Amino acid sequence: MHAYRSHTCAELNASHVGDTVRLAGWVHRIRDHGGVLFIDLRDHYGITQVLCDPDSPVFNDVEKLRSEYCIRIDGNVKARDPELINPKIPTGEIEVFIRDMEVLGSAEELPLMVFGDQEYPEETRLRYRFLDLRRAEMQKNMTLRSDVIRSMRQRMWDTGFREYQTPIITASSPEGARDFLVPSRLHPGKFYALPQAPQQFKQLLMVSGFDRYFQIAPCFRDEDPRADRSPTDFYQLDMEMSFVTQEDIFDTMQPVIQAVFEEFGGGATVDTHWPRISYADAAKWYGTDKPDLRNPIRMQDVSEHFRGSGFAIFAKLLEQDGTEIRAIPQQGGGPGKGCISRQARGEKSGTAPTVKNE
């Protein structure tokens, strides 16, 4: 038998009843039911319930276990009573009676519990990151990220792209933010930079004749954090195509993006018809270049209602060329309700701060 395990903690089922198995993992939870000890043994793949009573030769050792001990157990697979089957986990039909045990790593009192859904301060979670990453939600997030990247990578290969890795240490070429600098050992007083994007290198590949390039590329930018990226680095699906039009790019990338959402969206289906909105129309209708189309409301031109009106602040603005008044329609709204914004046309893009009258 293998030194540590014959199965993972997600593999055993009713077909293994009567087998002698070896499992290794972490003590997720311990329950004492009148001298019978039940332990949820966890590894990366799942949880198996193991149990021990005074008939086991290692009962005294099992009594000393605490949460997050890393152990290896040998035991016999038993079928659970029908009323005790747990349909929520793959191993819910069975349990393993412990015959032998080895403690691979003990644990002291934990500053952060892995079992349960307790909330902890961010400082605590980062200080004890190795424990935080053991929690079910974090395991799910990390696995999802890995699976999404694998899916995108495979779909790009299937579409005829090749993956090329570009350098991480490079000369400084400022783009949209400040560079992160790395001191040079060979040239004292000089610095390398971490790339904000693989822009120059991928363009070098394209002019060299590499027809279809992609990379799951790290980008390093010394900028403030955003809702969708950390303050230091993020990864993006970066791609280039030769001898193509804008429509070719849309036709190539839509199936990749759509398939990722359908595969990992929990059963969600994505409409195959993606509306095309120009930047000018997006700014005109929604006041942003990335509107949430689940909200059907569009801003509307109400300039004529205010031109020459007694609403001096808007009437005066309309005397300026290239200025119009746009309003966000509000269902059931009336006088004194709603939100009105000023937006410029032509060379003046975007919206000014809104004026609310409630």
Measure the CA–CA gap between 257 and 112, rounded to whole angstroms: 37
Interacting residues of 59 by C-beta distance below 8 A, sequence separation 6+: 37, 52, 53
User: CA–CA separation, 91 vs 71, rounded Å?
Assistant: 19
pLDDT tens-digit series, residues 293-316: 888 889 888 888 888 887 778 888
Q: What is the pLDDT along the chain (358 residues), one digit of tens a residue?
A: 899 999 999 999 999 999 999 999 999 999 999 889 999 999 999 999 999 999 999 999 999 999 999 999 999 999 999 999 999 999 999 999 999 999 999 999 999 999 988 999 999 999 999 999 999 999 999 999 999 999 999 999 999 999 999 999 998 877 778 899 999 999 999 999 999 999 999 999 999 999 999 999 999 988 887 777 777 888 999 999 999 999 999 999 999 999 999 999 988 888 888 889 999 999 989 989 989 988 888 988 888 888 888 777 888 888 888 788 888 887 765 555 444 544 444 333 333 333 333 3
Q: Which residues are within 8 A (CB) of 155 and not within 5 positions of it... i.e. 6 or more apart? A: 255, 256, 259, 260
| CA-to-CA dists, residue 256 to 123, 153, 161, 270, angstroms | 37, 9, 12, 12
Residues with Cβ within 8 Å of residue 332, at least 6 apart in sequence: none
Enter the pTM of the model.
Answer: 0.80
Please give the Cα distance from 170 to 204 (Å, whole number): 14
Please choose, from the candidates 125, 19, 148, the residue with its C-alpha nearest in 3D space to the C-alpha of residue 76.
Answer: 19
Cα-trace Rg, the chain: 30
Q: Largest Cα–Cα distance in the chain?
A: 94
Q: Helices 136-158 and 246-264: crossing angle, nearest 10°? A: 140
- Tokens encoding 74: 């040998």
